[in-house]
Structure 1
């Protein structure tokens, strides 16, 4: 089993968002988180990534850890595309960046500083980082933001290849990535009961 959540409860900024979340994700599988804005998809992903503590429940993760792609692309502006990927590859004990450049169509941009990239190019570079982590479980929070249709198709292929090689992915997205392996998990039934009126309406970027 790649990921198992058991009776997990999570909060953001002291506000309890989700209670009793459970899921099991094996090699080659993907789960797409569903639910309205503010329900806690981002918070759940950040909790699984270890960026914030759980309230209660248990998480079983791969021993080598996970790769998390959130709203920030995690780029160093003055480094080139290749240098950024090389930096992250070294962080994760990897050396090869050519497959990552090719997968997100960045080869012709390899020598361009990240600060000179468009928003879509920066996003492609941020997502290419996934391939240099060596991690089998990917946690993806709205990964297609700023991507055009062609780049979305590239990313969908990248995920399919990852799953075909025994990886797994937990994804929050409103875009249909065409993943036959993916199952939906609606978080609505796990919404925490103790909420003040209107608290479910804030922007999910803060959830």
Structure 2
């Protein structure tokens, strides 16, 4: 696999963080239960532009569920979520959030380029970003016409990262972003998060392992047994 392009070579149009602005994301009293059994909460936390929130906890602590609640894929049982100081309604979530989950979210019989075009058609793209450049950046140059079903698990993760890079959303929700990646891929994720935060974005990251934390300004949210 070819070496990815330096992130500095890719055009970015995000506005640098305004230190007087409200948190990009804030949650108060957030709680979720499944079949009347508490999964997490109540949780209070915030993440500012230019910052990452590292979500830690044992398996079953509700880290993935929390990200799905924040993305609007699950409904919280209690609490409030604000984006840029305003209630996180579906339209605001759609504009502000890019979600990278455990599943790659790709269409198996579309090529890498076709998958990016399809997803950008649904979710928008950052101005001046080209799909070919995003593929090169994540180390998939030469795989433009490869069908998604022909890619390895690590290559599918890289294709999902290319879509993330093209997203105009300022808030990244990254659920185990290092899974299925080699050391070069882990470094790629770290550099992507660094560049995103440097340009005024923010990220929530769930991880396992001592290596699995981007080297950026980070807050930590420790998740344990729900109250």
Which residue is equivalent to 2:89?
none
For the aligned residues, what is the CA RMSD?
Answer: 1.5
Q: TM-score, normalised by structure 2?
A: 0.79
**Alpha-carbon distance between aligned partners in 2 of 1:88 and 1:14, rounded to the nearest angstrom:** 35
Structure 1: gaps (5+ residues): 194-207
Match of 1:57 in 2: 79
Q: Where does residue 215 of structure 2 map in the other structure?
A: 179
Deviations 1:136-165 (A, max 9, x none): 001011111111111111111111111100
The offset of 1:23, in angstroms, is 0.7
1:109 aligns with 2:143: yes
Structure 1: which 4+ aligned runs deviate by more than 4 Å? none
**Structure 2 residues not aligned, in runs of 5+:** 1-22, 85-91
Contact 2:55 2:204 in 1 (8 A): yes
Matched, 1:88 2:119: yes
Which TM-score applies when normalising by structure 1?
0.87
Q: Is the Cα–Cα contact under 8 Å of residues 104 and 155 in structure 1 kept in the other structure? A: no
* Contact 2:50–2:200 (8 Å) recurs in 1: yes
Q: Check conservation: 1:73, 1:123, Cα contact below 8 A.
A: yes
- CA spacing shift, 1:177–1:102, aligned 2, 3 Å: farther
Aligned to 1:145: 179
Partner residue, 1:135: 169
CA contact (8 A) 1:34 1:184 kept: yes
Q: How many residues are paired up? A: 191
Q: Aligned to 1:108, what secondary structure does the other structure show?
A: coil
